């Protein structure tokens, strides 16, 4: 049978593991009304599927991973919040049929609600992976063991941090950062029996410091004592791996807050005498958060951490390639166990990707300047194209003045966008200038051949500011 999504494939596996057929699942479901599923009609419309799915997962107290991780963004107007799939307005018109497999997604509610095994299988999807700053929700690779806190190794001017280790049933990953010397070229994980598991390098970024990722496919036998060996060294750095933290709901991992359509969870973990905080977002798959305001160059109002007495607590980050969504702080010692902390995130920077690239064509002069005064729409955000000017010192370049209608009081504001020259497989170059205060784009410069009357480019992503605040209660 052809599956419409990985979600349906997963739920069919649950049916098989329970020994149920579709009719039995329907009998157990109980929440499917005759108008929603008829014997001779196994192709309910998408709205019915979404309605029953939402009812099912709400009844179970479980996250609807299809809505959280696979939804496509709508096109809200300027300043509108990012909308989760369940909150988007439905489009009128003729209903579209969906594959028969989708019916089973609806019919499983009764079995899932009644079966601890069913709940356990769904719950396994949420696994916190320290060091990588993520919560995994992909059953195709179940994380079994992790490195609970970073391990450092230094000799002379060279130092290496093993930031994270994730051992999965199919795929394992290791993240390193370092200063001084060249990045680690080869890496092995060694268990107590002396079995050596080689990892391949995936990504490496270098400057004065470096960060690198390594991966390996296949099972790994984890023992009580393990070590990580660099570049063929006979001895390695000792590490202790622990079972991953699992949860049936994201709220079980930490304090969870929603603001303007963006859900954030603050996960705290011990890091020796320090407390590490990881912010885990829930967004449609087409959106991602690129900054939370922890960096000096994020252009956002900075987060603030205070204790119960109102005293501000310093927020600290790793010096070498810090994860954008992580920081740590040091509770005072000795610290009363009853003391708590409040973290406030005023605003975040979000990248939203279009379902397909947006084509923009702007009239340009052959010499001098031309008033354009046209409005374009980028994922629901209006942008005024004010004028275009041929540059006297670069006649094959044109500057386009823009007004993104930036509103610092809106729930969400467009800040930046860039031409995507990969759309038509052609090269190109551009530059942009932003406002000193808002960091919103003011004009961009593009290449334009002499004699051209228009310039065309595509926009695949927009960068916005989504405002909170998100306020979390943290307990070390």
* pLDDT tens track for 271-324: 778 899 999 999 888 999 999 999 888 899 999 999 998 999 999 998 778 889
Query: What six digits make up the tokens of 335?
Result: 């610290």
Q: Between these two residues, 393 and 100, which has the higher pLDDT value?
A: 393
Residues 6+ apart with CB under 8 A from 43: 97, 98, 99, 100, 103
Strand partners, 454: 363
Predicted pLDDT at 125: 59
**Cα–Cα distances in angstroms (integers) from residue 241 to residues 68, 144, 167, 231, 387, in the given order:** 30, 10, 9, 21, 59
- C-beta neighbour count of 125 within 10 angstroms: 20
Least trusted range by pLDDT, from 42-51, 101-110, 248-257, 375-384? 101-110
With 0-12 / 13-18 / 19 or more C-beta atoms within 10 angstroms meaning exposed / middle / buried, residue 33 is exposed
In this predicted structure, the answer to whether residue 143 has a pLDDT above a threshold of 70 is yes
Predicted pLDDT at 260: 94
Q: Between these two residues, 67 and 134, which has the higher pLDDT value?
A: 134
Sign of the torsion formed by the C-alpha atoms of 81, 84, 89 and 91: positive
Sign of the torsion formed by the C-alpha atoms of 125, 126, 130 and 134: positive
Predicted pLDDT at 307: 92
First to last CA, the chain: 49
Contact between residue 18 and residue 112 where contact means Cβ atoms under 8 Å apart: no
Q: Rounded to whole angstroms, how far apart are CA atoms 54 and 61?
A: 10
In this predicted structure, the answer to whether residue 248 has a pLDDT above a threshold of 90 is no
Residue tagged 């791996």 (tokens):
241
Contact between residue 324 and residue 292 where contact means Cβ atoms under 8 Å apart: yes
Contact between residue 83 and residue 261 where contact means Cβ atoms under 8 Å apart: yes
Q: Rounded to whole angstroms, how far apart are CA atoms 170 and 144?
A: 10
- C-beta neighbour count of 88 within 10 angstroms: 16
| Residue 22 backbone phi and psi in degrees, to 5 | -60, -40
Q: Rounded to whole angstroms, how far apart are CA atoms 342 and 471?
A: 7
Contact between residue 469 and residue 292 where contact means Cβ atoms under 8 Å apart: no
In this predicted structure, the answer to whether residue 6 has a pLDDT above a threshold of 70 is no
Q: Rounded to whole angstroms, how far apart are CA atoms 421 and 32?
A: 48
Least trusted range by pLDDT, from 268-277, 343-352, 436-445? 268-277
| Residue 170 backbone phi and psi in degrees, to 5 | -125, -35
Q: Between these two residues, 155 and 400, which has the higher pLDDT value?
A: 400
Q: Rounded to whole angstroms, how far apart are CA atoms 448 and 446?
A: 6
Residue 61, CB-side half-sphere exposure with 13 Å CA sphere = 10
| Band of pLDDT at residue 205, cut at 50, 70 and 90 | confident
Report DSSP state, residue 309: T
The CA angle 114-116-120, to the nearest 5 degrees, is 130
Query: What six digits make up the tokens of 103?
Result: 């019916």
Helix axes 6-18, 116-123, angle to 10 degrees: 150
- C-beta neighbour count of 160 within 10 angstroms: 24
Predicted pLDDT at 430: 86
Predicted pLDDT at 427: 67
In this predicted structure, the answer to whether residue 5 has a pLDDT above a threshold of 90 is no
Task: Give residue-wise pLDDT tens across range 22-74.
Answer: 444 444 444 444 344 444 444 445 555 555 555 544 444 444 444 443 333 23
Q: Rounded to whole angstroms, how far apart are CA atoms 214 and 239?
A: 16
Predicted pLDDT at 346: 97
Contact between residue 302 and residue 294 where contact means Cβ atoms under 8 Å apart: yes
Q: What is the dihedral of CA 445, 446, 449, 453, to 10 degrees?
A: -80
Arithmetic mean of pLDDT over the chain: 78
């Amino acid at each position: 049978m052809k599956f419409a999504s990985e979600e349906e494939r997963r739920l069919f596996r649950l049916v098989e593991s329970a020994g149920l057929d579709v009719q039995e699942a329907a009998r157990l479901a109980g929440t499917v009304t005759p108008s929603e599923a008829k014997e001779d009609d196994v192709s309910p419309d998408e709205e019915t599927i979404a309605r029953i799915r939402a009812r099912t997962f709400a009844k179970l107290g479980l996250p609807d991973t299809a809505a959280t991780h696979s939804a496509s963004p709508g096109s809200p107007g300027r300043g509108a919040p990012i909308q989760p799939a369940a909150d988007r307005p439905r489009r009128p018109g003729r209903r579209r049929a969906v594959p028969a497999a989708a019916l089973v997604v609806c019919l499983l509610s009764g079995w899932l609600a009644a079966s601890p095994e069913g709940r356990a299988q769904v719950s396994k999807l949420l696994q916190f992976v320290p060091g990588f700053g993520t919560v995994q929700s992909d059953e195709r690779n179940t994380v079994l063991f992790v490195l609970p806190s970073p391990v450092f190794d230094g000799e002379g001017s060279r130092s290496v941090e093993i930031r994270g280790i994730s051992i999965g049933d199919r795929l394992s990953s290791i993240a390193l950062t370092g200063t001084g010397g060249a990045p680690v070229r080869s890496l092995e994980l060694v268990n107590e029996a002396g079995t050596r598991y080689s990892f391949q390098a995936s990504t490496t970024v270098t400057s004065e410091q470096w960060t690198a990722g390594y991966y390996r496919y296949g099972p790994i036998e984890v023992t009580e004592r393990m070590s990580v060996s660099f570049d063929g060294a006979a001895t390695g750095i000792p590490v202790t791996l622990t079972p991953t933290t699992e949860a049936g709901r994201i709220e079980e991992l930490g304090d969870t807050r929603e603001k303007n359509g963006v859900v954030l969870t603050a996960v705290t973990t011990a890091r020796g005498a320090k407390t590490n905080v990881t912010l885990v977002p829930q967004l449609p798959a087409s959106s991602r958060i690129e900054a939370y305001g922890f960096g000096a160059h994020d252009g956002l109002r900075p987060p603030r951490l205070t204790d119960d007495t109102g005293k501000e607590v310093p927020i600290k980050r790793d010096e070498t390639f810090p994860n954008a969504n992580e920081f740590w702080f040091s509770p005072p010692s000795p610290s009363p166990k009853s003391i708590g902390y409040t973290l406030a995130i005023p605003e975040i920077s979000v990248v939203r990707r279009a379902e397909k690239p947006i084509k923009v064509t702007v009239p340009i002069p052959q010499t001098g300047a031309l008033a354009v005064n046209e409005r374009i729409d980028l994922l629901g955000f209006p942008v005024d194209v004010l004028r275009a000017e041929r540059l006297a010192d670069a006649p094959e370049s044109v500057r386009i003045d823009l007004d993104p209608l930036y509103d610092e009081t809106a729930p969400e504001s467009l800040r930046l966008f860039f031409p995507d020259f990969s759309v038509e497989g052609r090269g190109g170059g551009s530059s942009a200038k932003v406002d000193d205060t808002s960091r919103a784009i003011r004009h961009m410069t593009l290449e334009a051949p002499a004699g051209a009357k228009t310039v065309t480019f595509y926009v695949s992503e927009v960068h916005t500011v989504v405002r909170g605040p998100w306020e979390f209660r943290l307990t070390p």
